[in-house]
Amino acid sequence: MNTPDHLQGHLPADHCLSPRWQFRHLPLIGRMLADYPAQDLWQTDFARLPRALARQRQRARAFTEQHLLPAADELDLAPHLQAGECHPTARRILSEAGKQGWLSYFLPAPLGKMPWGTVVHAPIWQSCLIVEEFSRGCGGLMLLLSAHHLGAMPLILSGRVPHILKLLAPVYRSCERGDPQLIAFAITEPAAGSDVEDGHGAQTYHPGVVATPTKGGYLLNGRKCFISGGDLAKTATVFAALQGEGMESWTCFYVDCSDPGYRVARTELKMGMRASGAAEIELSDVFVPTDRVIGGLRNGWVLNRATLNASRIPVASMGVGFARAATETAVEFAQHYKVGGKALIHYQDVQLHLATMVAETRALRALVWQEARLAWKPRQLHASLCKFHATDRAQRVCEMAMDLLADHGARHENRIEKIFRDVRLTRIFEGTNQINRLSLIEDWQPQLLDPDHPAGV
């Protein structure tokens, strides 16, 4: 079957009125200022990245193509497992991810697997590149690999070198040997979702997980819920208030999940990102020694907020990955599905629809990269803005893909319905998008309260 040399309603690329053809005939200096290569859009962005980051992005894409995409449907459709069980395919992917450094890339060698060529770039930017590629392949497997970094973040942000050397480095080394030792991040409680992510709500919340002083350490009691990866984690950064005090006493404890009194009560049967478990954890007199208090007593709130600031931009990049997957799926469908004897791609209204999806996706990536590349010290305003805007608009792109595929969009084998289920969760975790909008305003208060100096946007 012959491939047409142009879309209906457009000129061939080699036509004398095509911009590509005309640019080739400019003088050298003109071509230097105006010529452009005939690359796809992903390759265009690839060429603009610093070389070390481009290599990391290429590696993440290759891992996705080899391991995540082929397993996405199998794990999404697999029966719901009991707490603590791991699907053999997921276990294999976790092991391979550990060996390739995808579970230890937030620190450079010899502590982790961050390439030394990328250390001059913000780790959050590196994470965004990786997370986008993984999200494009499978939201559930992306979360299975990424939630571990969320659990490790308080250890890094605490700035305590002994904790990094004694607690985190051994975890990273185990992962790199192919024996993944995941870390969970446990903040959410059954009676408080947003209250542990918003200062105004936390001010009046009565903490559900409490740490009672005892000889040599603390006893933790209470429950945490919706803990991503909590069903498979070997350790967890658990946030608890000190006995008799409120949220201002929140403290981060590094808990061994095999300790007596620690129990994974259940995992949720979720709408999306099904390859990653969301666990409810029960703590009954779980002993944590004093040397596993992370960041010092009563510093849990600041560690929590710093961790959320660091993680919300990568969550925005999840949205980019889902929007990209939806757009690529819609394009492929339009190239092959025929109406009236010709492929959808030749209809101008379909072209307009796809152009909007491409523009939305690339605008979101530009926003994320703009903030991530400078996010050595991520500010709440920027991180929250990225998170709610990128994930809201990403869901809209997925809806546009479903509109284009019509009845075919609801069929699992066409990917869009899975992508749609996966993208919805990004608007909930790391603080709902409503909470993130309020977080922007909260951070911006000093400027908003000064009528004599209008706040610039």
pLDDT of residue 128: 98
Side-chain-side CA neighbours of residue 447 (13 Å): 10
Mean pLDDT of 242-254: 96
Mean pLDDT of 85-106: 97
Q: Which residues pair with 281 in a beta bridge?
A: 224, 264
pLDDT of residue 298: 97
Confirm whether 398 is domain-assigned.
Answer: yes
Confirm whether 392 is domain-assigned.
Answer: yes
Confirm whether 410 is domain-assigned.
Answer: yes
Per-residue pLDDT band at 177 (split at 50, 70, 90)? very high
d(Cα 71, Cα 67) in Å, to the nearest integer?
Answer: 7
Which residues have a Cβ under 8 Å from the Cβ of 200 and sit 6 or more positions away? 438, 442
Task: Please state, for a pLDDT cut of 90, what percent of the chain lies above it.
Answer: 83
9-18, 103-112, 241-250, 257-266: lowest mean pLDDT where? 9-18
Q: What mean pLDDT, rounded, does the chain reach? A: 94
Q: What is the pLDDT of residues 26-81, one digit of tens each?
A: 888 888 888 777 778 888 899 899 999 999 999 999 999 999 999 999 999 999 99
Confirm whether 311 is domain-assigned.
Answer: yes
Q: What is the pLDDT of residues 409-434, one digit of tens each?
A: 999 999 999 999 999 999 999 999 99
pLDDT of residue 24: 75
Q: What is the pLDDT of residues 105-136, one digit of tens each?
A: 999 999 999 999 999 999 999 999 999 999 99
According to the 3-state scheme, what is the secondary structure of 152-215? HHHHHHCCCHHHHHHHHHHHHHHHHCCCCCCEEEECCECCECHHHCCHHHHCCCCCCCEEEEEC
Range of the domain at 331: 304-448
Q: Which residues pair with 192 in a beta bridge?
A: 189
d(Cα 311, Cα 323) in Å, to the nearest integer?
Answer: 19
Confirm whether 370 is domain-assigned.
Answer: yes
Confirm whether 419 is domain-assigned.
Answer: yes
Per-residue pLDDT band at 250 (split at 50, 70, 90)? very high
Q: What is the pLDDT of residues 343-364, one digit of tens each?
A: 999 999 999 999 999 999 999 9
Mean pLDDT of 159-182: 96
Q: For the chain, what is the domain count?
A: 1
Per-residue pLDDT band at 1 (split at 50, 70, 90)? low
128-132, 281-285, 339-343: lowest mean pLDDT where? 339-343
Q: Are strands 235-242 and 251-256 parallel, antiparallel or unpaired?
A: antiparallel
Confirm whether 317 is domain-assigned.
Answer: yes
pLDDT of residue 84: 85
Mean pLDDT of 374-399: 96
Q: Is the pLDDT of residue 191 over 90?
A: no
Confirm whether 80 is domain-assigned.
Answer: no
* Range list of H helices, 248-298: none
- Beta-carbon neighbour count of residue 445 at 10 Å? 10
10-19, 82-91, 371-380: lowest mean pLDDT where? 10-19
Q: Do the beta carbons of residue 274 and residue 125 sit within 8 Å?
A: no
Q: Is the pLDDT of residue 235 over 80?
A: yes
pLDDT of residue 182: 98
Q: What is the pLDDT of residues 251-278, one digit of tens each?
A: 999 999 999 999 999 999 999 999 999 9
Domain containing 372 — which CATH number? 1.20.140.10
Q: Is the pLDDT of residue 243 over 60?
A: yes
